[in-house]
Structure 1
Amino acid sequence: MESSKHLLEEKVLQLESQIKELQARVEVLENSDPVIQPLPIETKEEKVSTTSPTQATHHHKEVAPIDWEKVLFQIWLPRVFIFVFIIGVLWGFKAASEYGLMNETVKVTLGFIISSLLLLIGQNQMKNSREKLGYVLLGGAVPLLMLTTFAMHVLYNMVGPSLAFVLNVAWIVIGLMLTKKHRSEVLGFISMVGGVLVPFLIESETPNIYVFLGYETLLYLLFLFLAVKLQFKVIYYGSTILLNIALFVFYISSYVFTEDKFAIEYYVACPILIQHGFLLYFYIKEKKQIDQHAGMLFASLLVTSAWVYSTFSEHGVSLFFALLVVMYVFLFIKWQQDVKKRSIFLTNVIIAITFLILHAVNEELQMSVLLIEGLAAYYVSLRYRNSISKGIAIFIYVFTGLMLVAGEVITTPFSNETINWLIFLTTFVLGMNMTYSFHSASKEQILKYGSVILTILVLTFSTELTMAVVEGWADNKQRLAVNVVWIGLAIVAIVIGLKNTFNYAKYIGVSLLILTLLKMIFYDMPYIPLAIRAGLFIALGFVGLVVSRTFYKKK
């Protein structure tokens, strides 16, 4: 009894100690005064307005609407009306001169004053963060300065050519400096267009060819260097295009009114040669935007070739393309380890050789030489894995082949046409072999389609050659000869297929037999005598049976 009483007392003491510990913890929590936030309860309105993170991200990615007011009135409106303003100033000066309101000195002075005001106002607009308007005003000042200088020199004879040239160079330099300072392609483009148009806005009865060519060339080079340095694509392409347009307009207009035809024909293309040389220089030197330089260099070669063809003498054209071939072959060899550079060099080699062949090789041999060139270019392109030059090589070869098939009719067995056809067939077989070697993954397709095309070519050549051989024979004998040749080709194809286990050749041979049969039934039968018709059908039937037996024997 006493033991149980003792245990009960110990339990009571333990409970009392636990109660005291719990009370102490409660006091600590109460002293810390925690703020318990109730859980938010979403209402229907909140649920509707709540967006997920994905939706929020999508919302931020939405493109802002175009501010057409800004585009039209702040960007394009000043660009258009600065040219309107300049033309208005020109016409105003001309009208004032006709009515006797001002003399040449006053007009030139006003021209420089207006240009200076445009520069000052443009700079002020730039400082006040109105860049779009400032660019246009600054860009308009530069061509107006050049225009005033040209008028002062050409129209009014107030200064000599040397001072006029120096002043125009100074205005161009100002335009370049402003473009570089503000890094504005718009400003540079306006200055460039104004500079190109200046000579055409000046009326002169005796235009100086050499001053014009020198001015346009220098203008182009300055803006080309600026475009490359600041990576201005619009000026890079625009300056190249504008030079060609300016020279073309000058060439057409001056050729009619100028007696010095020699100077126009032999010197008008010089700026284009210089242009191509500098484009080549930047392509070799620059490491940025290499694709841009490559495309421009290729286009420049085509345009330069057109200019040379149009203006140079016969010997001059041949010499130009010969030097061009030598230069690009050298560049290709020097940079053949550079995948990008060798690509355009190889392409330009092919183009230059093609133009040289078209100009220097006798017309009777042109097709043969072009076919050989196309095959050689195709092989080099396959070897160096150059898709651009490969496409050009295929185009040269296919175009020449189509011209041969469509236009070259064999009149005599031993003729240039026969040689062209033999070279065509030989190069086609070599081309198939090259393609087969370099494109192992497509061997079946190459054999299938290549064999069909080769069969059509051989059939066409054999028919034309046979008709040339039997010319003068009776009509029925000519038809008989053609049918015999077709049967012979079928037999040759089947034999090749059986010996080399080349199934496509066997199928082609059988197809030729069937084609010969159809030709005899629907085309030749009314014109062939009964005896010859019987012999042909017997021969054709016998060959067909032998071929069938051969297939059966092989199987």
Structure 2
Amino acid sequence: MLNKDQLEERVQSLEREVDELKTRIHQLENKMYFGDERPFPQKIKPDTQAKKPITNRSKEKVQSAPLQQKKVNRSSTDWEKALFQVWMPRLFIFVFIMGVLWAFKAASDYGLINETAKIAFGFVASGLLLYFGRKQMKQDRAKLGYVLLGGSIPLLMLTTFAMHSLYGMVGPAAAFVLNAVWIALGLTLTKNYQSEVLGMISMVGGVLVPFLIESETPNPYVFLGYETVLYLLFLSLSIRFHYMMIYYGSSILLNAALYVFYSFAGSFDPGSSVAIPIIIQYVFLLYYFVKAKTRVASQANTLLTSLFVTYVWVNGTFTDGGITLFLVSFIFIYAVFSYMRRSEPEKAAMFDIHLIVLIAFFIIHTVDERLITSLLLIQGAAAYYSSLKYPSLLKKIISLFIYIMAGFTVLFKGVIDEVISIETFDWIVLLVTFAAGAKLMRKHEKIKHERFMTISSAVFAVLTLIFTTQFTMACVHDMNDNSQRLILTFVWMVMSIASIAAGVLKESTQAKYIGVSLLILTLLKLALLDIPYIPLFIRAILFIALGFVGLIVSRIFYRKK
């Protein structure tokens, strides 16, 4: 029986023999294929011996050269396409339309053509643009075709505008119908050729149509209905063909048109009716967001922006009851969606965000002014806790924003004048929610523990010191100045002792250092502010007490070390 050492020697010997055999086999293979003993790890076929081997470096040169040349050529072609096929037609169709308008003006100034001929020429020019645009599309010149087709729509609208407003050939009803036909034509071209440029041109022209028609008895409800229907048409078009420019542009143009109408309504007071199209817009944006399978993030951002815009319109035009009804209705809707769509995290987070914002609006609008700050503090803390349970960065940001704004309101709201007051309640809510929130963040967030503990403890200590000072002064406001200073100094001293004791018992470095800092702050207050105003006897008591506390604290630290 072999022992352990002998077995190890035998294994090592066998390994050396195997290595020698591999080396000899390798050398034999090289001799067979190359006639020498040069190492070459892979076998090659006999019929390739006569061919000169291609090194890796030469392969790289052979492969990379055509690719680089191809890349350069493609880059050059892209520039030519962008300049001569895309931007040049767009520039010169604008130049062409301006030339047509100036030609009308010049011909009119020189008396060459009458008004009827001008209108006829405008429609003929539009027809020619449509004809040649379609012809270019059939001949695979899509970029030029889009521009020609797109140029025909505004030219038709301008001709109709001249026929109605400048020359009075048709009334407002006929002009409106004609412009509606041109918009329908633009929508049809957009759908058939799937061109976002055509859609944008038709959309802008469509929004401007009511402003191009003069009427002695304008009907504002027709205007609102028209703009709403037009928006819904282009919104559905943008969703179907993923036209993001039309998606964003239609929302912006609707708000702009309604703002102009609201600002220059004249004797007519639209009241809350002007906000109805905005609410409809918001509802349909929500509908398409719920149904969305793609581009969820972009639709979510638009929906959130629309919420703020819609609330501004509602808050500015609705009565208090109407505002409350609007907020309660959508709070209920988003609560249902938030519960039912938990399986879709991205959408559920957006529903939660809308719910948070709407609840904040509801608190601000309906709750007594004295309780708003405390409720917003509680709501911000609760919303942040929800963002930890169902993670969302935007939800965290909005929750923290609500909480911080409410916290600043507490800080700058005013000094506590009475012991039992709304200000006292606000401060207690701020301190409790801050402590609970810091504990939750320390437990759930991925942040550096020690640094966070230091910062949060320091902020909490400052807030507590401000509250305690204000509360103490409210308690002793009937006493004389010397008594107030004495009591406040003792309160600070007790707070420092309590902080140090808590740090020792719970082994919290932050609490101990905060206690020591507060003790030093008390000494500075006593030395710089209180000495000139307090009697010698009281001064002696304070310094003896403060010195004794400092020595005890030093002894505690020494023993602990």
Scaled by the length of structure 1, what TM-score is found? 0.82
Match of 1:259 in 2: 267
Q: CA deviation at 1:173?
A: 2.5
Letter in 1 for 2:143: K
| Matches for 1:16-415 after TM superposition, within 5 Å | 51=61, 53-54=63-64, 57-58=67-68, 60-62=70-72, 64-65=75-76, 71-72=82-83, 74-80=85-91, 82-83=93-94, 109-149=120-160, 156=168, 158=170, 161=173, 167-204=178-215, 207-252=218-263, 254-255=264-265, 258-261=266-269, 263=270, 265-415=271-421
1:288 and 1:361 map into 2 onto residues whose CA distance is 39
* Contact 2:172–2:214 (CA under 8 A) maintained in structure 1: no
How far off is 1:328 after superposition?
0.9
Following superposition, the deviation at residue 84 of structure 1 comes to 6.0
CA distance in 2, matches of 1:78, 1:68: 15
Q: Which residue of 2 aligns with 1:456?
A: 462
2:99 and 2:209 map into 1 onto residues whose CA distance is: 15
Taking a change above 3 Å as real, the CA distance of residues 488 and 377 of structure 1, as seen in their structure-2 partners, is same
Judging changes above 3 Å, is the alpha-carbon distance between structure 1 residues 522 and 135 closer, same or farther for their aligned structure 2 residues?
same
What residue in structure 1 maps to residue 439 of structure 2? 433
Cα 1:332/1:67, change in 2 over 3 Å: closer
Paired residue type of 1:175: G
Aligned-residue offset at 1:58: 4.9
* Kept in 2: contact 1:78–1:136 (CA 8 A): yes
Secondary structure at the residue paired with 2:315?
A: helix
Measure, in 1, the Cα distance between the counterparts of 2:249 and 2:226. 17
CA shift for structure 1 position 455 = 0.5
Residue identity matched to 2:245: V
Match of 1:549 among 527, 551, 555: 555
2:513 paired residue number:
507
Amino acid at match of 2:525: K
2-side partners of 1:279 and 1:417: how far apart? 41
CA distance 1:436–1:67, shift in 2 (3 Å): closer
Query: How far did 1:59 drift?
Result: 5.2
Distance 2:465 2:356 in 1: 31
Q: Secondary structure at the match of 1:287?
A: coil
Aligned residue type for 2:222? V
Per-residue CA deviations over 1:274-315 (Å, capped at 9, x if unaligned) read 111111111111201111111111111111112212222222
Q: Quote how far apart the aligned CAs of 1:146 are.
A: 4.2
* Structure 1 counterpart SS, 2:267: coil
Query: Which moves more between the two structures, 475-484 or 273-282?
Result: 475-484
**Maintained 8 Å contact 2:377/2:429:** yes
Q: For 1:204 and 1:346, locate their aligned partners in 2 and report how far apart those are by CA, in whole Å.
A: 47
Deviation at 1:53, TM superposition (A): 3.8
Q: CA deviation at 1:507?
A: 2.1
Alignment check: 8 A CA contact 1:142 1:191 kept: yes
User: What do residues 103-149 of structure 1 show as CA deviations (whole Å, max 9, x unaligned)?
Assistant: 87666555443332221122223234443332122112223434555
Q: Any idea what the Cα deviations from partners look like across 1:372-404, whole Å, max 9, x if unmatched?
A: 110111111111112211111011101211222
Long gaps (5+) in structure 2: 1-46
Higher-Rg member (1/2): 1
CA contact (8 A) 1:374 1:394 kept: yes
Q: How many angstroms does 1:76 deviate by?
A: 3.4
Measure, in 2, the Cα distance between the counterparts of 1:346 and 1:280: 13
Contact conserved, 1:143 with 1:195, CA < 8 A, in 2? no
Which one is further off, 513-522 or 295-304?
513-522
Secondary structure of residue in 1 paired with 2:75: coil
- Determine the structure 2 residue equivalent to 1:22: none
In structure 1, C-alpha distance between the alignment counterparts of 2:112 and 2:418, rounded to whole Å: 82
Greater shift, 404-413 or 521-530, is seen at 521-530
